[in-house]
Amino acid sequence: MEALYSNIHYWLVDHPTISQFEWKQGHTFGSSISFLTISVSVYLCLTLLSLRFSTFIPTLTTTTIRNITAMHSLILCLLSLLMVIAGILSVQHQMPPHDWKWIVCFPGANRTLPRGPVFFWIYICYLSKIIEFIDTLLIVLSSSRSRRLSFLHVYHHALVTVLGYIGLQHAQSMLGLALIVNASIHVIMYAYYFLSAIGKRPWWKKVVTNCQIYQFMLGFMISALMLYYHFTTEFGCTGVGAWCFGIVFNASLLVLFLDFHSKNYTNNIKKEL
């Protein structure tokens, strides 16, 4: 058992590529402003064009689209699970001994650089947000696109990538925790999408939405703690400027998800009554 743990720890934390990782703008793959701008612009342009010219876009047969979405969702589900495990091990490894405050507040005044295993996995999470653009492509190519290509979906996919970039660039406090929480939610979300795609639509759709809503609420609570440390400790916390963008995004997603919740589930209760 111990040998298995050491092996996992080596491949997820201690391997030189991971332990010596450093986000260097312009050097690390995907770290240039042009990479970010082009990726997000191409994503938005193609999505808007597909909305504008939806009648010209062929829809794939149900079987083809289901097989591709099932495979894509399974890959993202497993990748998210990997990020949860690696995120926990990396935080444990990189956190100074018994300094629990570090989880929500990386020491400021140039004392924290975006390097080491925690930032490696945040970086993988950032790249995974670009892979998640494929979700939108799959929706566009499916027959249910008019129902599922929502503002919430496109807004989330475009902005989360930008915020991941800004967070890495500024070694934003709380990102390690955000990685673990968000990847955990994505494990169940992509499991839900996988099961839907293979025709076994789970009964727990509402549970997934509730978990997403709790995630955004938790974001506010942890932020309050981070701000407390920021204003009461000698060096403050890193990336408070980047956090300002993040918290506005968090608030907007909370509003959009509450709206999604009331539209999708409140009517069901009324129908049941």
Name the site residues for ligand MLC (rule: CB under 6 A): 69, 72-73, 135, 138-139, 142, 144, 148, 152-153, 156, 182, 185, 189, 192-193, 196-197, 205, 208-209, 212, 215, 260
Shortest Cβ 50–ligand MLC spacing (Å) = 14
Select 86 or 125, whichever has its Cβ closest to ligand MLC. Answer: 125
Helix H segments across 95-239? 117-131, 133-140, 145-148, 151-169, 175-197, 205-232
Select 25 or 144, whichever has its Cβ closest to ligand MLC. Answer: 144
In whole angstroms, give the CA distance from residue 251 to residue 58: 36
Smallest CA-to-CA distance from 74 within 200, 174, 249, 252 is with 200
Select 215 or 223, whichever has its Cβ closest to ligand MLC. Answer: 215
In whole angstroms, give the CA distance from residue 61 to residue 94: 48
Helix then strand count (H, E) for the chain reads 12, 0
Shortest Cβ 233–ligand MLC spacing (Å) = 29
Select 43 or 192, whichever has its Cβ closest to ligand MLC. Answer: 192
Shortest Cβ 156–ligand MLC spacing (Å) = 4
* 73 token code pair: 């969702």
Shortest Cβ 153–ligand MLC spacing (Å) = 3
